[in-house]
Structure 1
Amino acid sequence: MANPEAKLETFLQWLQANRVELRGCNIKYCDSRKGFGIFSDKDVSDGIMLVVPLELAITPMRVLQDPFLGPECRALFEEGDVDDRFLMMLFLTVERLRKGSLWKPYLDMLPTTFGNTLWFSEEELQELRGTNLYRATELQKKSLLNLYETKVKDLAKKLLNLDGDSEIEVCFEDFLWANSVFWSRALNIPMPRSYVFPEMQDVHQSGTPEADKKGYSISLM
């Protein structure tokens, strides 16, 4: 595994290649507990410290149009088997495991574990026994495990095999990580629905007014 300085240098090169502008800030490594952070290093007249192209937003549309994941995901989405959040979590799960992922410099910068109760050890979780949080954690983990076993596991493995990464094993912790990354980094940005979701055939045939086809959710990871 690369040291923090090497990961940061690779990430900065990736940002530059993808037209990200660090106008009034820089990225530094703090320590093993805090990880990386963005720090202001100068005043900017318009107050814009950082510019990230929307092409770097991980949205349902990006997943469905992805040449690698798109065909499989689009079929599931059009059949109504999965929702938009699932698409992005699957994307994160697979891209993190792919050896040749174009997103690797970014994904390598993210935390590998999280502090919420879904990540507690069995011993830590027992300290919460009898509380509402304990019950909620049990239910949520059971739900995620069921989703992983019924939809994620085989599909992720199939996609990795198609990419030539047949030796890579997919485990529940990979999906748990993707779930935690999504919920800790999802942002809502007002955008036309057509930018975030493809226009499905049934939408065209439904006679839905154009104004009702607008959506205002986009997840920028």
Structure 2
Amino acid sequence: MERKESGKKSSALNNHNEMKVLINKLLQISAVPQEKDVSKLLENHKDMTVIIETIKKLQKKVVTEDKNRTSGRTCPAIIERFTNWFKENGAELEGCDIREIENYGLGFITNTKIPEFSLVISVPKKLMLTVDAAKKTPLKQLIEKDDLLGNMPNITLAVFLLYEKYKSESFWKPYIDILPNTYNTVLYFTVDELLELKGSPTFEKALCINKCIIRQFAYFYKLFNTSEDSVSHIMRKRFSFEDYCWAVSSVMTRQNKVPSENGITRIDALIPLWDICNHMNGTITTDYNPDLKRCECLALKTYQPGEQFFIFYGERSNAELFLYNGFVYEENEHDIYWIQLGISKDDPLREQRTELLKMFSFELNESFFLTKDGEPINDGILKFIYIFKMNQEHLEYWLKSEGYNFSLCLNIQESWSFLQTRLKLLLGTYKTTIEEDLKLLQEEQLSPNRKLAIRMRLTEKMILKKGIDYADRMIERNAIESIEKIQI
């Protein structure tokens, strides 16, 4: 018996020492400055992933499992316990039932007609997990001591969520149990699944998010294992990479802003019940009622019985929804594609271009976006290109002029052709075509994350294609107008 106990202690010590070495390696690799070269950023991610996989195997051996956790959030007992909890604590849900909905997970299904702007959900502040609430727990000591927790409220909220999950008893347990076990955020993507985004501007952002969270995990693992406060004692027994990804994803996909207790600032919050709502196009119909100290959600349209009750998350592009919410919304009326335009350091007319760009409040390197709906290309992009394409004579003229009708002296055709070529080059950076992506999405054997990545890049390609077609029409129109002028 003594030999078995001795063997367990020896094994635990070896695991602890191995974890210590791996965490230090992770901190070292993740400290590499942000690379501008995406291929180098990818290699850095691969190096970190190798270490993370070893850490996950080690932590499965030593991290205590949650014996009170049921198999899934859609379990009737979990939903019933959550429902009783929010009702007992003053939250209200009118005209809807919590149901599992295909392709959505949990959501609300209406059980009666709900008129537009009717109050459907109300959640008192005492039910919300907030940074203010975190500071009323033993976590306060760590928040005041640690710069990362003190300066990054969203990270504080993720740690607070884990702390409440790990406690033997938590007021928020019915809420924590109804949260998803896993997410479709980029933190859950394998390297191969992330590679589906290659060529997309979202690819670099996804790698950066992963790098940031991996470094945070290593940082907190070391903090919890070297601190002697009561929170660290609880956290160090169960804190794992998988749990940290879960907590961060819970916050990323669900966080909102509510007034702080002093009423001056707004703080990060997780709002139980309200965060079960899924997204559709519309207008924001959720707000905080300071008099009743609760979050209130109104119906954004009239609902008939049996419909899913949706809310509008706000004007977010599909890239934002993909990176921070874990889904892509093809009907997104606010979807955009960002492009970068800049003046080369080797441009002999760089100084004059810089001066003229400043007159229009442009930077030397500027970000513009193409839109999904309406005309995809705005005047801002064209003005920048006009300045980019000006010769010395035109630059000198416009620097002295008080009028800015560029079309009077510039070859508009040349500017549109330049933009069209640029958009074609961006579309060409993807390794597949639109048609190939549509075909790939029909394959059943693809993992959900791989399908999600394909859908993400497809929405980007559709916007680029629309921009190219629009530029083509403008080139054709300008050519016709030029011919007509010559004939006159």
Higher strand residue share: 2
Deviations 1:56-97 (A, max 9, x none): 12221111112x3233223336x9853222211111122233
What is the rounded CA distance, in whole Å, between the counterparts of 1:81 and 1:171 in structure 2? 22
Residue among 109, 123, 126 paired with 1:52 = 123
2:105 aligned residue: 35
1:132 aligned residue: 201
1:194 aligned residue: 262
What is the rounded CA distance, in whole Å, between the counterparts of 1:94 and 1:22 in structure 2? 28
Please tell me the residue identity of whatever aligns with 2:266. Y
Please tell me the residue identity of whatever aligns with 1:149. A
2:265 aligned residue: 215
What is the rounded CA distance, in whole Å, between the counterparts of 2:78 and 2:106 in structure 1? 10
Matched, 1:177 2:227: no
Residue among 154, 157, 161 paired with 1:85 = 154
2:360 aligned residue: none
Bigger relative CO (Cα 8 Å, ≥ 6 apart):
1
Cα distance change on mapping 1:80 and 1:15 into 2, 3 Å: closer
TM-score in terms of structure 2 length: 0.36
What is the rounded CA distance, in whole Å, between the counterparts of 1:11 and 1:181 in structure 2? 17
Please tell me the residue identity of whatever aligns with 2:265. G
1:17 aligned residue: 88
Give structure 2 stretches of 5+ with no counterpart: 1-69, 272-488
What is the rounded CA distance, in whole Å, between the counterparts of 1:80 and 1:109 in structure 2? 26
Quote the RMSD (CA, aligned, Å): 3.0
What is the rounded CA distance, in whole Å, between the counterparts of 2:247 and 2:175 in structure 1? 13
Aligned residues of 1:125 and 1:134 also touching (Cα < 8 A): yes
What is the rounded CA distance, in whole Å, between the counterparts of 1:103 and 1:185 in structure 2? 15
Residue among 79, 94, 98 paired with 1:8 = 79
* SS class of match (2:180): coil
What is the rounded CA distance, in whole Å, between the counterparts of 2:149 and 2:200 in structure 1? 35
Q: Give the aligned length.
A: 197
Deviations 1:153-210 (A, max 9, x none): 64389656645x87x4311221121211112112234x35625xxxxxxxxxxxxxxx
Deviations 1:11-48 (A, max 9, x none): 112112222122332222335x5322122223568811
What is the rounded CA distance, in whole Å, between the counterparts of 1:146 and 1:153 in structure 2? 11
Cα distance change on mapping 1:185 and 1:153 into 2, 3 Å: farther
Aligned residues of 2:93 and 2:120 also touching (Cα < 8 A): yes
Cα distance change on mapping 1:50 and 1:92 into 2, 3 Å: same
Aligned residues of 2:149 and 2:155 also touching (Cα < 8 A): no
Cα distance change on mapping 1:159 and 1:112 into 2, 3 Å: farther
Please tell me the residue identity of whatever aligns with 1:175. Y
Report the CA distance between 1:7 and its aligned residue. Answer: 0.9
Please tell me the residue identity of whatever aligns with 2:76. E
Residue among 76, 85, 89 paired with 2:146 = 76
1:208 aligned residue: none
2:378 aligned residue: none
2:220 aligned residue: 151
Please tell me the residue identity of whatever aligns with 1:124. E
What is the rounded CA distance, in whole Å, between the counterparts of 1:193 and 1:55 in structure 2? 11
1:97 aligned residue: 166
Cα distance change on mapping 1:16 and 1:145 into 2, 3 Å: same
What is the rounded CA distance, in whole Å, between the counterparts of 1:182 and 1:151 in structure 2? 17
* SS class of match (1:71): helix
1:205 aligned residue: none
2:97 aligned residue: 26
* SS class of match (1:194): coil
Please tell me the residue identity of whatever aligns with 1:38. F
Report the CA distance between 1:54 and its aligned residue. Answer: 1.0
* SS class of match (1:219): strand
2:211 aligned residue: 142
* SS class of match (1:50): strand
Aligned residues of 2:96 and 2:111 also touching (Cα < 8 A): yes
* SS class of match (1:112): coil
2:314 aligned residue: none
Which one has a bigger Cα radius of gyration?
2
* SS class of match (1:101): coil
What is the rounded CA distance, in whole Å, between the counterparts of 2:149 and 2:105 in structure 1? 38
Structure 1 stretches of 4+ with a deviation exceeding 6 A read none
Q: Which segment drifts farther, 173-182 or 119-128?
A: 119-128
Cα distance change on mapping 1:143 and 1:218 into 2, 3 Å: closer
Please tell me the residue identity of whatever aligns with 1:145. I
Please tell me the residue identity of whatever aligns with 1:111. P
What is the rounded CA distance, in whole Å, between the counterparts of 2:262 and 2:113 in structure 1? 36
Please tell me the residue identity of whatever aligns with 1:76. D
